[in-house]
Structure 1
C-alpha cells in the first residue's frame, strides 16, 4: 500500500504550505478548495447563507485548476496543514482514508435514500461514507442519423444490444466507408471507464459487496471479447483516442456512434442530425447500464473545524443547492428531485443518461487507484491490439489488482 505520508514535497509545494499556515492560524476559518477556473455559480450565495446560519465561522475558498487541485489538497494534508474541505475524485477516497488524511462523513438512512441507486456506493467502503457526492456523470450512445440512413438503416432506431451495435456499425462502415463506432483505447483513465460500461451493461462487477475481486467472470470476459471485436468496425488506431478526442470525429461525421456524457449534447454541431439512446445491453445484462462516476467533497483530518466542514459540504450539496449546481453545469442529477422530470420533459435527450442508473455500477474504490487503473488500461489495450487473449489477460489482471485493493 502506498504511504502518502512519505511523499516528498518540492519547493513549490512548500511555498503553498507556508501560505496555508497563515489561514489555519484562524481556527474558525473553514478553508475550501474547489477545482476549476472559477467558483461554481451559486456557491457564493450558498456559502454566505451557511455563514449566516453558523456565526463565528468564515469560509475561505480557493479555486485551483483541475490539473493541480487534488494534488494540492493531498500535499497540504500530508504536510500536516490540511485544508478543511476539498473537491476530490471519489476514486481517491479509499487511499486518502487508508492514510488517515480524511474523516468519515456519516449519512443517515434518509440521506442515503435520497440519491439514485448506487450513488452512495461510490463513496462507501468499510461500512462508512468518506465523501459527499457533488458531481455525477453517466454515459449514453450518440448516433448520427444521416449515416444510418445512408447505410440503409432506420435513422430513428439505434442499437439496443451489443450484437445490434456491432451489426449496425459494420453495415455503416461497409456501405458508407465511415467507421461505425468510436472506440477508446488510449493510455488514459477513460479507456478503463469505457470498458466498465461494457461490464455493467452485461451485469458484471469488479468488486463484490464483500470486497472480493470478481473481475475474472464470464460477464466480464464477454465484455472484453466484445470490446476487442469492435476494433473491426471502429476508427483506425483506437489506442490514439480517448473519449473526448472522439467527439470531434463524431461532429465531423467521421464516426457514426460514440459513448459520451450529457455535456456533449451542447457540443454537437448544429448541422448534425443526431440522437442519443441508452448504452446497448450485453447478453447477460438486465437492462441499460452505465459506469457511475462521482466527484465528492472530502473533509480532511486535522483542520480543527471538521464538524463545520461536514456541515458545509452537506449544505452545498443538499437537494435544492445540488440540483441548481447540476443544471448550471450540465451534470447528471444525483437525486430524483422534483425538477428532474420537468427537465426531461423540456429536453428528452436527458432521459438516456438517467435510464442507465438502475443497472449501473460504481467506479471501484482501490487503495492504489492509479495502479488499478493502469492495469485495467493495459488489459484493454492488449486485447485491442491483439497482443493477448482476452481470457488469459483478464485472469492475470484480476490477480494483479488484488494487490491494489
Structure 2
C-alpha cells in the first residue's frame, strides 16, 4: 500500500511537471533576416519572456538572400512562422492572400512616429506590420572635386538644375563624373527614381488608392533622371547604389544619393559632405523615399495576439532607438536622444530633413512585377530607347494590373 501510494504521488508529480513544461513550451517562432540576432534583442526577448510566463521565443536567423522567400513559402504552405522581418513593400501581397493579421495601432502609437512613416505599413486604412527599420537618402558630395572644378566646396546643389550644372562643371574640369546614376536591373534603381518623384511633390498612389504615376511631377522627375546621363559615369545600367558608393570612395564620381550607413563606410581621407536631396520645380520642401522593413504577424499560429505584443515590445520607442543607433539607421520616431545625436554628428540632419515631405514605397499585390516595370521604364529613358512621356504613360497603364 505504501509503495503504491508513493508511485501514485510520483506519477502525479510527473504529470504536473509535464503539464507545466507543456505550458512553458508554447514557443512563438520568429524569423529575423541577416547574419546574427540584432544587438539587444537577446535582452529584449528575455525581458518579454519574463513578463509573459508560459511563452518562449524561438528565433531563426536566415541570410538576406533566402529570408523573404522562406517566410513566404512557409506561409503559403500553411505552416507559418509567428513573427517575421519583412520588407514593408510585401505587406499588401501578404494581406490580400490572407496570410497575415492586422497590427492595430492607437492614435497615440501612430503619432509617436515621424510624419508619413505609418503610411509605409498601411493598406486600405489598416496597419499590417510594425516598422522596425527605416532608411532615407541624402546627397553626398566630394568637396575636393568641387574645389578642383572651381566650385564652392561648402555649397552643395539645392535644386535639380544646380545639381546638373555642378555635375556638368565637374565632368568637364576633372577626371571624375559629376553624378552617380543608378540604372541597373536592381531594386534600388526604382528607389532612386522615387527619390526624384518625392523631391518634386509627386506620388505613385494617391490618398484614395488610385495610381497617379502619369503626372506632370513624375514626368519631370523621369525626364531629369534621363538628363543626368550627360553628367554621370559611363554605362549607368551597370550600376546600382552600392556600386556607386565604391566609385564615390575612389573619387570617380563627385555626388551620389545614399543612406546614412554610408557615412561610416567612406574612406577616412575622403573630404565629403552630406546635404538634403536637391529639389525639383514642384517641390514643397525636402523630400525622400521612405523605406521601411516591418515585423509582420502571420495568420494561423493560434498565438497571433502574443506575437503582436512581442512585435510592439521589440519596437517600442526605447528598444527601437537602441536598435537604430547600433545599426546606423534613420530613427523612426523623434524620441529623446535624436536631437543630441544630431548635435554630436550634424551629418545626421539631412536624413531627417526629408521625412516631412517624403513618400512611402508604394504597396502593390504583385510588388515584383511593379518593381520590374518601373526599372524597365527608367532603363528605357536612360538608354534613350523611349521618350520620358511615352515610357511613363506605358508604365502607368501596365502597373494597374499589379495593384
- The correspondence for 1:380, drawn from 374, 378, 384, is 378
Does structure 1 residue 76 correspond to structure 2 residue 74?
yes
- Provide the residue aligned with 2:134 in structure 1: 136
- Provide the residue aligned with 1:284 in structure 2: 282
Supply the distance in 2 between the matched residues of 1:109 and 1:55 (Cα, whole angstroms): 29
- Provide the residue aligned with 1:19 in structure 2: none
- Provide the residue aligned with 1:324 in structure 2: 322
Supply the distance in 2 between the matched residues of 1:316 and 1:107 (Cα, whole angstroms): 15
- The correspondence for 2:199, drawn from 198, 201, 206, is 201
Supply the distance in 1 between the matched residues of 2:99 and 2:312 (Cα, whole angstroms): 19
In the TM superposition, residue 90 of structure 1 has moved relative to its aligned partner by 0.2
User: Secondary structure at 1:68's aligned position in 2?
Assistant: helix
- Provide the residue aligned with 2:181 in structure 1: 183
Deviation per CA, 1:340-374: give whole Å up to 9, x if none. Answer: 00000000000000000011000000000000000
User: Secondary structure at 2:378's aligned position in 1?
Assistant: helix
The count of aligned residue pairs is 382
- The correspondence for 2:95, drawn from 97, 108, 114, is 97
The answer (yes or no) to whether the contact 1:27–1:305 under 8 Å persists in 2 is: no
The answer (yes or no) to whether the contact 1:35–1:66 under 8 Å persists in 2 is: yes
Does structure 1 residue 165 correspond to structure 2 residue 163?
yes
Deviation per CA, 1:283-325: give whole Å up to 9, x if none. Answer: 0001110000000000000011100000000000000000000
- Provide the residue aligned with 2:61 in structure 1: 63
Supply the distance in 2 between the matched residues of 1:49 and 1:55 (Cα, whole angstroms): 11
The answer (yes or no) to whether the contact 1:203–1:284 under 8 Å persists in 2 is: yes
The answer (yes or no) to whether the contact 2:25–2:54 under 8 Å persists in 1 is: no
In the TM superposition, residue 394 of structure 1 has moved relative to its aligned partner by 0.3
User: Secondary structure at 1:181's aligned position in 2?
Assistant: coil
The answer (yes or no) to whether the contact 2:92–2:364 under 8 Å persists in 1 is: yes
TM-score after normalising by structure 1: 0.93
- Provide the residue aligned with 2:9 in structure 1: none
In the TM superposition, residue 80 of structure 1 has moved relative to its aligned partner by 1.0
Deviation per CA, 1:112-155: give whole Å up to 9, x if none. Answer: 00000110000001110000000000000000000000000000
Could you tell me which runs of 5 or more consecutive residues in structure 2 were left unpaired when the two chains were aligned. Answer: 1-21
In the TM superposition, residue 27 of structure 1 has moved relative to its aligned partner by 7.2
Supply the distance in 2 between the matched residues of 1:390 and 1:158 (Cα, whole angstroms): 27
Supply the distance in 1 between the matched residues of 2:75 and 2:230 (Cα, whole angstroms): 47
- The correspondence for 2:252, drawn from 239, 251, 254, is 254
Does structure 1 residue 313 correspond to structure 2 residue 316?
no
Shift of the 25–174 alpha-carbon distance from structure 1 to 2, 3 Å rule, reads farther
Could you tell me which runs of 5 or more consecutive residues in structure 1 were left unpaired when the two chains were aligned. Answer: 1-23
Does structure 1 residue 396 correspond to structure 2 residue 394?
yes
- The correspondence for 2:268, drawn from 270, 283, 303, is 270
The answer (yes or no) to whether the contact 2:101–2:297 under 8 Å persists in 1 is: yes
The answer (yes or no) to whether the contact 1:27–1:304 under 8 Å persists in 2 is: no
Runs of 4 or more above 4 Å deviation: 24-27
- Provide the residue aligned with 1:18 in structure 2: none
User: Secondary structure at 2:313's aligned position in 1?
Assistant: helix
TM-score after normalising by structure 2: 0.94
